[in-house]
Amino acid sequence: MTFNSLTFFVFATVVFAAYWAVRSRRTQNMLLLVVSYVFYGWWDWRFCGLIAASSAVDFGVGLWLSRTQDEQPGPRRQRHRRTALALSIATNLGLLGVFKYYNFFADNLVLGAASLGVSLSPSTLQLVLPVGISFYTFQTLGTTIDVYRGRLGACRSLVDYFAYVSFFPQLVAGPIERGARLLPQFQRDRRFDAGLAADGLCQALWGFVQKAALADNLATLVNDYYIPTSPGPVLAVCTVAFAFQIYWDFAGYSNIAIGTARLFGFSLSRNFALPYFSRSVAEFWRRWHISLSTWFRDYVYVPLGGNKRGRARQAINILLTFVISGLWHGAAWHFVAWGAINGLAAMPTIVSGRSRAQPVDTPGGEGSSPGLRGALQMLATFSIVCVGWVFFRATSVEAALQILTRIVTECGDIAAWSSLAAHEQYLRAIMPLAVLGVMAEWLQRRHPHVLVLDAWPRWSRWALYTMLFWGAMYVLPETPPEFIYFQF
């Protein structure tokens, strides 16, 4: 059941009606818990056992940590707290290790041993990667760490905690919420707010347009021709196409998730803040997948030492954090290479402290245009990010290097650009949509989403909403692909 399906539309409508038909907060939370497990079990009912296990362990660990507050300070108390935290870390990273990384490490162990002349034959596991496991394990683990650090009190309601972990709008691909931000929303009464719901519908509509009209149509070109044997100019165009495909795909998911949550009275964190208008790679990562970037900052980069141990150590910490982030995205070396490329590109700006841009800042500045210098900085940043996307999209490091080689060696040949003629009809159809999408985001970049149009007359707003919805339905591919981040 995906956000861009009729099934989800019916599901959300029925849940919305039932949810607001009851007034008790506890009943609402119980309803959200049940429907969220139905939503997750729609892919495979066995997945529900994994999220229940992760939730149960971290709920219990939170209570354990809470009880240790009453113990006398000393080595025994600290030992109990560390044991509790270790149980949470072992459970969550153990689930990820088995389902996502076991075969990767087993295969590389065999290759490493073979290089030393030792023959190994460990068995691999034929396991289906549970949808969303990378997201909810990080969410529960982060919550437990915050309880351990004393930044958050333990949740004492099993229903509230399980509903918080499994909340269906953000369960499968985030945003990865912090307990201090989302848990209190489950613990207080909620009343229907027509204005909040209307804004949520607008944001969800824009997310649907991003996914159906923009990302899914770009996917047709990328999936068919983004292979190492394609001509260099085609690969260059496909690289740019993929950059916008993955952005509109994931930003579209996030907008639908945030908008849907508002229908139920919840406020989720902003996950994208127009990253392609960034003027440095460091700024890009403050605007791209914000909930994950800040998670790695707070729970990996800072514990490694952050910037407290000198610039050399800070540079190593930055690179390690990005490499681990790359491995989080996928159990393959080309994801590790993608993380390393972005880490090396972001490192100079972060270490020097030149860029302090935050997601709340207006991307590109307050002017109507970024100016020549700003435009060049955006173009340079986008180009570096695209080099990274080659490794992200490729099937291996070798394939990525082949693609980059063909782009560099063949794009300088004017005659080689004639290879795009075979795709001219398609490019004429999709490129105007892509340009309009970029222009709309630039003009509305001061707002959390494009469809904040309070100054427009009501009739014109509704005319635009209707046009966008049916226009997206018209260009929607016959078999819409799943959201890209479902595989992580």
- Write out the catalytic residue numbers: 329
What's the rounded Cα separation, in Å, for the pair 4 and 245? 15
What value, to the nearest 5°, has the Cα angle with vertex 288 and ends 284 and 292? Answer: 125
358-364 long-range contacts, CB within 8 A, separation 24+: 358/286, 359/270, 359/273, 359/286, 359/287, 359/290, 360/273, 362/445, 362/446, 363/273, 363/274, 363/277, 363/278, 363/287, 363/445, 364/277, 364/279, 364/442, 364/445
What's the rounded Cα separation, in Å, for the pair 164 and 170? 10
User: Which helix (H) or strand (E) segment is 208 a member of?
Assistant: helix 194-209
Give residue for tokens 């180009």.
383
120: exposed, middle or buried (Cβ count in 10 Å: 0-12, 13-18, 19+): exposed
What's the rounded Cα separation, in Å, for the pair 247 and 278? 14
- Give the number of other CB atoms < 10 A from CB of residue 319: 17
- Give the number of other CB atoms < 10 A from CB of residue 375: 13
Q: Fill in the DSSP letter of residue 126.
A: -
